[in-house]
Amino acid sequence: MKGTRIFIRVDYNVPVENGTITDDTRIRASLPTLEHLRKAGARLVLASHLGRPKKGPAPEFSLKPVAARLSELLKAPVTMAPDSVGPEVQKLAAGLPDGGVLLLENVRFYKEEEANDAAFAKKLIDDSGATVFVNDAFGTAHRAHASTAGVAPHVKTRVAGLLMEKELKYLGMALSAPERPFVAVLGGAKVSDKIQVIESLLPRVDALLIGGGMAYTFFKAQGKSIGKSLLEEDKIGLAKELLSKSGGKIRLPEDHVVAAAFKADAEKKTLPAAEIPEGWMGLDVGPATQQAYAREAAAAKIVLWNGPMGVFEMEPFAQGTLAVARALAECQGTTIVGGGDSVAAVTQMGLADKIDHVSTGGGASLEFLAGDELPGVACLDLA
């Protein structure tokens, strides 16, 4: 690869406040691929989006802070391009030395990026002078955009980066032939967000532990009292159907922490499952459920966790999510965590290094686990 120009799609969609990056996890996650290629003498042209700019270029969505942080992490200069295509990009890319790194400006400054415009995709490759496409942005692999999939036909070689490979390896364990017992822990607000994942995982898991707001639609499907807890009325029939065909694999909370209002300082109490009085709402799983779910997770050979057990952003209702995080950290089996709040929980507790794989892709990991084809993966040479 010495001297070869490589177009690398990375995922640098990081939180930036007043020009300062508040979480560089995604930048760090790209380092193994970049360092491997730089060591081989390749010339790297990096592309990413940041946020959702609606009207073209905007300073608050510039990748300039990312270039500065990446340079610090690589301990090497990173050139920031003023654009993602055009004469200046051509000049900077042509001038890259072996091991050099050029970061293109936010590709979403062009509406053609999300439209997967073929001419724009070709221009990304032509102006970068790349002959190889490396997709290392699993977090955007479920999007058929110009820089994630559209560029593939315009290069000779299309491969996964090391981060993408890791994501596919670990998430693939959940869909292939996992070791037993295989336990999935699913949380979050809505059943509708996880329908396909539940249907995809049910035949594969030994137990599917449900938490979060989505649990109350299942309880309602059983005819139980849920007070004013979160409910998807139009999904009650589906929840009933999933329960009936689960063969007892779907486990629901044994108890809840309920509150009189949706706020951190609201009056709260712990009640057994399905005994939520009118005017109260379930906002977290209770201590008995925390212990039961922790036991199941600890004994598993593979544990997949996606979604919080309660209103994680409010400290009084974060205990269920934190209990699951601790259980996975102590599990001797293979542990996989995906989804923003789940990842935030293991990260905030300093447990991320005790998890075998912390996914960088929220929507992408859900679509992958649902069995959907990801455009940013399908376009690669994975044989």
pLDDT of residue 177: 66
Q: Please check whether residues 283 and 324 belong to one and the same domain.
A: yes
| Cα separation, 288 vs 280, whole angstroms | 19
Active site includes 212?
no
Q: Are residues 115 and 232 in the same domain?
A: no
- pLDDT reported for residue 367: 87
> Which range of residues forms the domain containing residue 82?
5-160
Please tell me which residue in 240, 340, 354, 362 is annotated as part of the active site. Answer: 340
Q: Are 133 and 151 in contact (CB under 8 A)?
A: yes
Report yes or no on 359 lying in a domain. Answer: yes
Residue ranges of E strands in 61-172: 78-80, 101-103, 132-135, 157-160
In a domain, 205, yes or no: yes
144 and 221 inside one domain: no
Q: What are phi and psi of 114, to 5 degrees?
A: -70, -20
Q: Quick check: 383 pLDDT over 60?
A: no
| Mean local confidence (pLDDT), 154-176 | 92
Q: Kindly report the pTM of this predicted structure.
A: 0.86
Q: Tell me the mean pLDDT in the region 190-216.
A: 91
Q: List pLDDT tens digits, range 113-127.
A: 999 999 999 999 999
What is the rounded distance in angstroms from the CA atom of residue 149 to the CA atom of residue 238?
Answer: 34
Q: How far apart are CA 200 and CA 177, in angstroms?
A: 13
The answer to whether residue 339 scores a pLDDT higher than 90 is no
Residue 174 confidence (pLDDT) above 80? yes
Decide if 187 contacts 306 (C-beta within 8 A). yes
Q: Decide which of 160, 179, 210 is a domain's last residue.
A: 160
Instruction: Determine the pLDDT at residue 178.
Output: 76
Active site residue 26: yes
Secondary structure element (H or E) that encloses residue 237, with its range: helix 236-245
Active site residue 190: yes
Task: Catalytic residue, from 41, 51, 129, 363: name it.
Answer: 363
Instruction: Please report, for the domain that includes residue 66, its CATH number.
Output: 3.40.50.1260
Highest mean pLDDT among 67-81, 200-214, 285-299: 67-81
Residue 383 in any domain: the answer is: no
Same-domain check for residues 120 and 96: yes
129 and 219, same domain (yes or no): no
Domain membership flag for residue 380: no
- Are residues 152 and 187 both part of a single domain? no
Q: How confident is the model at residue 58 (pLDDT cuts 50, 70, 90)?
A: very high
In this predicted structure, the answer to whether residue 364 has a pLDDT above a threshold of 90 is: no
Residue where a domain stops, chosen among 160, 183, 203:
160
> Could you confirm whether 245 is annotated as catalytic?
no
Residue 102 in domain: yes
Residue 378 inside a domain? The answer is no
Same domain (yes/no): 319, 222: yes
- For residue 125, the surrounding DSSP H or E stretch is helix 118-128
The verdict on 201 and 305 lying in the same domain is: yes
Q: What is the pLDDT of residues 226-240, one digit of tens each?
A: 999 999 999 999 999
Side-chain half-sphere exposure of 106, counting CA atoms within 13 A: 24
On whether both 190 and 334 belong to a single domain, the answer is: yes
Candidate list 122, 190, 224, 228, residue with the active-site label: 190
Let me know if residue 375 belongs to a domain.
no
Number of domains in the chain: 2
Last residue of a domain, one of 95, 129, 160: 160
pLDDT tens-digit series, residues 276-332: 999 999 999 999 999 999 999 988 999 999 999 999 889 999 999 999 999 999 999
Kindly state the average pLDDT of the residues 94-113. Answer: 98
Confidence of residue 270 (pLDDT cuts 50, 70, 90): very high
- Using alpha carbons, select from 216, 197, 192, 338 the residue that is nearest to residue 285: 216
Q: Report residue 193's pLDDT band, with 50, 70 and 90 as the boundaries.
A: confident
What's phi and psi for 36, nearest 5 deg?
A: -60, -45
On whether both 239 and 308 belong to a single domain, the answer is: yes
Question: Are 59 and 207 members of one domain?
Answer: no
Task: Please pick, among 26, 123, 249, 268, the residue that the annotation labels catalytic.
Answer: 26
| Residue 250 sits in the same domain as residue 135 | no
What is the amino acid identity at position 136? Answer: D
pLDDT of residue 338: 84
Burial class (CB in 10 A: 0-12, 13-18, 19+), 35: middle
